[in-house]
Amino acid sequence: MIENEKVEEIMFELEEKTEKTLSVLEGEYAAIRAGRANPKVLDRVEVEAYGGMSKLIELGNVSALDARCLQINLWDKSLLKAVEKAILQSNLGLTPTNDGNVIRIVFPVMTEERRKELVKQIKKMGEEAKVAVRNTRRDAMDSLKKMKTAKELSEDDFSGCEAEVEKAVAAVMTKLDGIISAKEKELMSI
């Protein structure tokens, strides 16, 4: 790799953007339930509380009682109805039960059809992440081409940088494929 501040900046930006893409995909996958009770499923649920919107995880403890049941223990019991409403409106397909003290959510056993539907969904999300990585690669290559055109990079240096970008992107794509196949395996295991 050549010593050039602009090239280093381009490579740093490429790495930063691709890592962000990976972490966003992992976050989205964490919210997809695989038939097992996972408190992360509720991470994105926002509740109308205290005159504004608050994340559910900021209002109490969410814990897994067993493989198919979550329990939400709120610090302020007056929010039970609001939390119940927020979960119902979250499009997670979960039905909370409120006993006046805690909220429990029992996860139904997923059908084969639902599993296949979720696999399609995660593959689509994975493909969107790959497109984002490809766009990041294109941006990096465009920046390098501009440097070559402006004679800031020689032909040989450009070829070396191009190979470096391709190597970095290939590593990220391999990670993405691993994340996608792991989630697919998790969803299809009963």
Average pLDDT, the chain: 87
Regarding whether 74 and 52 lie in a shared domain, the answer is yes
In terms of C-beta distances under 8 Å and separation of at least 24 residues, what long-range contacts does 143-150 make, across chains too? 143/6, 143/10, 144/7, 144/10, 147/6, 147/7
Range 8-31 average pLDDT: 90
CATH of the domain at 135: 1.10.132.20
C-alpha distances in angstroms, 137 versus 47, 113, 157, 165?
Answer: 38, 36, 17, 7
Confidence band (pLDDT; 50, 70, 90) for 2? low
Confidence band (pLDDT; 50, 70, 90) for 34? low
What is the separation, in whole angstroms, between the first and last Cα of the chain? 47
CATH of the domain at 64: 3.30.1360.40
Q: Is the pLDDT of residue 38 over 80?
A: no
Note the pLDDT tens digit of each residue in 46-60.
888 888 888 888 888
Regarding whether 116 and 182 lie in a shared domain, the answer is yes
Burial class (CB in 10 A: 0-12, 13-18, 19+), 103: buried
pLDDT at 42: 82
Regarding whether 177 and 123 lie in a shared domain, the answer is yes
Token pair of 50 as six digits: 């205290």
pLDDT at 188: 81
How far is it, in rounded angstroms, from Cα 3 to Cα 10? 12
Please count the structural domains in the chain.
2
How far is it, in rounded angstroms, from Cα 118 to Cα 97? 25
Domain residues for the domain of 10 are 5-31+111-188
